[in-house]
């Protein structure tokens, strides 16, 4: 059974009711909308992240919804900037993995921990190594 923090995981089988990319490897093969992504302030308590050349990526809400706490407008804008930076962050991590892979093993002082973090982040983004 894969270790992950899926909230929909069945306690008996360890599988998701609505399979996440960890439980369903086919879902992790899906590709995201190509970047760059940009933050667009929208009206009525929302902040949108859009692909520069096309569709919307996500919407951050700042108005209260039933049974949900919502971020302030400033926090929603900060969250949107983080989401919008995702394509560039994945590219940077891929490049860092290549650089680390080129360092001779005997010279990799402190690198294994960083390499593990990079691999985990890329796996979370659905990028195969």
Domain boundary among 49, 66, 84: 84
Domain boundary among 47, 65, 84: 84
Residue 14: predicted pLDDT: 63
Give, rounded to a whole angstrom, the gap between the first and last alpha carbons of the chain. Answer: 21
My answer on whether 98 and 118 are in the same domain is yes
pLDDT digits (tens, 9 = 90+) for 43-83: 677 889 999 887 889 988 887 666 677 788 888 888 899 99
Domain count across the chain: 3
CB neighbours of 6 closer than 8 A, spacing ≥ 6? 16, 20, 22, 23
My answer on whether 104 and 93 are in the same domain is yes
Pairing between strand 46-51 and 37-41? Answer: antiparallel
Domain ranges, residue 115: 85-129
Is pTM, for the whole model, over 0.85?
no
My answer on whether 56 and 72 are in the same domain is yes
């Amino acid at each position: 059974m894969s270790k992950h923090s899926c909230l929909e995981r069945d306690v008996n089988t360890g599988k998701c009711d609505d399979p996440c990319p960890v439980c369903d490897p086919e879902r992790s093969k899906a590709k995201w909308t190509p970047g760059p992504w940009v933050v667009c302030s929208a009206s009525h308590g929302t902040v949108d992240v859009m692909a520069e050349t096309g569709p919307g990526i996500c919407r951050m809400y700042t108005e209260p919804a039933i049974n949900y706490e919502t971020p302030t407008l400033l926090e929603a804008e900060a969250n949107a900037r983080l989401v919008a930076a995702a394509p560039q962050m994945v590219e940077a991590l891929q490049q860092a993995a290549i650089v680390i892979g080129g360092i001779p093993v005997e010279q990799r002082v402190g690198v294994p921990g960083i390499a593990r973090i990079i691999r985990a982040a890329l796996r979370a983004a659905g990028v195969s190594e």
